[in-house]
């Protein structure tokens, strides 16, 4: 079971 990371944790809100 692999967890899927959220994309928002990689890119800061502009």
Residues lying near another protein in the complex (CB under 8 A) are found at 1-14
The least CB distance from residue 9 to another protein, in Å, is 7
Half-sphere exposure of 6 (CA within 13 A, CB side): 3
The least CB distance from residue 8 to another protein, in Å, is 6
The least CB distance from residue 2 to another protein, in Å, is 4
Tokens 């959220």 correspond to 6
């Amino acid at each position: 079971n692999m967890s899927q990371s959220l994309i928002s944790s990689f890119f800061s809100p502009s």
